[in-house]
Structure 1
Amino acid sequence: MTRGDWIAIARKALIASGVDDVKVDVLARRMKVTRGSFYWHFKHRQELLDALVEDWKNNNREEIAAIEKRAAEGATGLIELFKVWLGEDPNFPAFDIAIRVWARKSPEVTKLVHEIDDAWIGLFQLFLERNGISGTEAFVRARVMYFHQIGYYALAIRETLDDRIKLAPYYCESLTGLPAPEGLEDALRTLEKSRAKGKRQAA
């Protein structure tokens, strides 16, 4: 078993039943291996927990950096945000919510969650300001945009990708107070085609 295998099974346990179930003995039984395999890769349980949080943090940081990079190269920031929301790993929302539940018990995790949330909201606010919305309005709209997406995660809303693409321009206008960016739906349709192609290749 690799370090990555241990992190993956720990993530599943966290999502299924919370951080209290992320225990070495429990995970070892599920993978049908000895505790020795764990201690080959980790010094103690806390190191595994730290790796879980790091995994969540890195996922968010990488997405933020990728959006910033594409926007700096001339892409429309709001379109890039919707592409991330609609194109993300379908398993990530449950992981995100599990981290947030864990944060209610852990000041350290709470601090990190707030840092990531602030980074996302700051990015949204920047894009709004580039489109002529400023001050408190930009800040509040950025928050509402972010809370909207977290709400999708928390409520586990069931929609097809096609449905979300159709709704995207309306959500964009409602959340930002701006007309949906030109090319938004076309960009998301390209994303839909890419995902469908990937599924066919995997089959």
Structure 2
Amino acid sequence: MSDYLDLYDYRGRVMVLYQERNRALSAGEDAEAILQRFRAGKDALFAQHPQSALDAEQRRQFQGLRYFPYNPTLRLTAPIDTDVEPVQQQIAMNGHENMSMTTIGNIHFSVDGTDVKLSIYWLDIYGGGLFLPFRDTTCPAESYGGGRYLFDTIKGSDTQLDREKQQITLDFNYAYNPSCAYNSRWVCPLAPLENRLPVAIRAGELAYTQHDMIPEDTDTSK
């Protein structure tokens, strides 16, 4: 039973990291300093917490997660188009059973002059939650081959959403790897084809090591 209590504690601590980030941004603190403080807090959880995505041996050798340098141009605000068909689909879970999720909106924005789109999903499990996975052209050479997440609110990672203005802040400096990027004991939903970006997102978390990629042709469209 202690494992469940540990998991509850871990998710609460992740949520606090995001709450502190949002508070500091609202207070006008330096964005890069906030990011570095956030990353230090995350490293501490990975190194010390019993519900870390790392196993015991990995924790003993852990020296910090790897990141792209801070990139202020990859923090942007865009409207959410909610006038979309609520398509339900089964998303692949790195070779295991699928997870059901529903498209609830689209976000259109530009990266280095290229217009792109990402879909936001609602995970169709008990309680539900907002979810934004993506894959970009840094995969798999620089970032994890299965793609990364911007948020998964079930797990405590938060989104900067303005409901009144129907817009969202996408800060790719906080893009992070799913748990399955660290070792094979985890099963994670991966980015579907529609969320594969034709541009490089050189911000956020890098691959955990140089050897933790998945094959380029892994089917994540189911």
Instruction: Return the TM-score normalized by structure 2.
Output: 0.29
Higher relative contact order (CA 8 A, sep 6+): 2
The structure carrying a bigger helix percent of its residues is: 1
